Chain A
């Protein structure tokens, strides 16, 4: 369960977030949709606590991400945008390193790493050094790394970037599995169709504010557009008009 309440964040003179609020409940996939530079990554970085908000409140499972960032991080598995691996370590070592840092106990560590490798179907290259991995392989390993400690909340920043059709598909299946397991999944993208195919709720962000936050049908209804892409454009124009 993720809650964001009127978060503000500036970098110098640039106001990246101007009072963003939304909620992502457990057992649902929430999509953060918005054009490039809308503030999607910034809000996610606030949630996995590498950025501190200037104003506002955000919580993960009721834990304040500013006051108790360490406890909040324990509840999160994050895949930052363009996350990189350690090229001299094998995929398995990369995953195990993160599992250890997340406090996974020694006795269960190997099992948990094996399970996530099976789940993400990366067994074929799990024991190769990650140098020279394809984008799809890298994303899968990064994802395995983020999920190895079995977090309740999963934050994925543009995970499908640079993935081919097959890889996107298997990623989509995985996200649905997480949803069925009752996880809270927050997922960002600038690709309309992807969000439409996956998400239960969509939060459209433009220019640092939430333009619209509703279910897919709700968004169609409120913008009066049947086509989701038109609805997206209409929502963004709404912000620009203000």
Chain B
């Protein structure tokens, strides 16, 4: 029994180590592309959030000459005033076509209205469908209302009234999230990368050892040997699992390295991702290997050809995101029931690890146990499927 298993296992390992496609998906796809994509997304969001505070914003203004004080005020708020389009109609068109993100239009009677203490009207053109423009418009609006409040205060003071009467309530925003907690939001997608890398690592092995063998015509001679099909299948799943474990370890390590070079502290983030977490995350995700290997083998043995197997396994690659996505959209807090769901439980526990929050031992135990049970069930289903005559296609 064990001799057969070991023989099949070793042959699959050697065979796939020599196969560029298997090797590339185990060594490159998950472990390298994942962190690179991640680093890209993070640096993009760092850039964007830094934009808000520090960078000078450009604001085209139509009719600057009617409100020199306002213009000076805006310039003091790090907003660079540029010449806008010729008239309000041109301003609307420029925003609509994306030439400008925001345009401020000051009418000719602005000064006269102010002098008469009547509300002076200004128009701020923006395109709500344009996220970048939306942020700029909000910033311009904030600056304008600050100017508005300042003028109101001056007017009240001039009439001998304390400007504070206009401020019955003062709102202080207090963000209680810790720096580690804020990182978790961004690093939430990281757990999917690991599951993806893990699956990619074994994908070609799973296909090759079923659909591939069949297409090559090596399955029939193999099945005519004096070994049971269950032994063959277990040897193949074991080899698939080793590739998956390897790919997982590599991608954890490459994340560890990438995070060291990311300027996350600029975002006020200090993710807890040291080597101890790398090791802990490996053991947390390891039970998913059996589940993934048996699931992919199961799918591949249903299909008729290599290509068909590839198509269906791509679906399998996406499936683990679904529970993560649903919980993220509904912003549900971790609870006991979730720990029975593979991929979701690993995601939630990993997020807690990265947030440096105390871990719930029961949650971890349920996650490991339920994932292993699912994996064992699928392996059993694989064994059943392997005994079918139809396996030969």
Contact = CB atoms under 8 A, between A and B. Distances in A.
Interface string A81-97: 01111111100010001
Nearest to A94: B218
B389 A50 contact: yes
9 contacts: A70-B226, A70-B227, A74-B226, A89-B11, A89-B14, A97-B11, A101-B225, A101-B227, A129-B18
A103 B4 CA distance: 8
Contacts of B119: none
Interface pairs A-B: 5 shortest CB-CB:
A84-B217, A84-B216, A88-B18, A48-B224, A74-B226
Interface in B2-18: 3-4, 7-8, 11, 14-16, 18
Interface in A89-114: 89, 93, 97-98, 100-103
B337 interface: no
A102 B226 contact: yes
Contacts of A51: 389
B224 A76 contact: yes
B160 interface: no
Interface in B334-393: 389, 392
Contacts of A78: 221, 224
Interface of B: 3-4, 7-8, 11, 14-16, 18-19, 216-218, 220-228, 389, 392
B389 A80 contact: no
A142 B216 CA distance: 13
A43 interface: no
Contacts of B8: 101
Interface string A48-64: 11111000000000000
A58 to B, nearest CB: 14
Nearest to A11: B389
A24 interface: no
A50 B223 contact: yes
A145 interface: yes
Contacts of B227: 70, 101
Contacts of B7: 97, 100-101
A145 B221 contact: yes
Contact of A83 (B3, B218, B226, B392): B218
Contacts of B221: 78-80, 83-84, 98, 142, 145-146
A125 B226 CA distance: 27
B218 A85 contact: yes
Contacts of B220: 45, 50, 80, 83
A83 B213 CA distance: 10
A128 B40 CA distance: 44
Nearest to B11: A97
A88 B19 contact: yes
A70 B224 contact: no
Contacts of B392: 50
A141 to B, nearest CB: 11
Contacts of B15: 86, 88-89
A37 to B, nearest CB: 17
B298 to A, nearest CB: 20
Nearest to A155: B224
Contacts of B389: 50-52
A87 B223 contact: no
Contacts of A48: 224
A73 interface: yes
Nearest to B229: A50
B302 to A, nearest CB: 18
Given A80-B217, A83-B220, 6 more contacts: A70-B226, A73-B225, A80-B221, A86-B218, A88-B18, A142-B221
B224 A49 contact: yes
B228 to A, nearest CB: 7
Contacts of B3: 100, 103
Contacts of B19: 88
B224 A87 contact: no
B217 A98 contact: no
Pick from A80, A93, A129 the residue with the most CB of B within 10 Å: A80
A224 B3 CA distance: 56
A84 B11 CA distance: 16
A161 to B, nearest CB: 12
B24 to A, nearest CB: 14
Contacts of A74: 226
Contacts of A98: 221, 225
Contacts of A73: 224-226
A39 to B, nearest CB: 16
A82 B217 contact: yes
Which residue, of B16, B224, B226, has the highest number of chain A Cβ atoms within 10 A?
B224
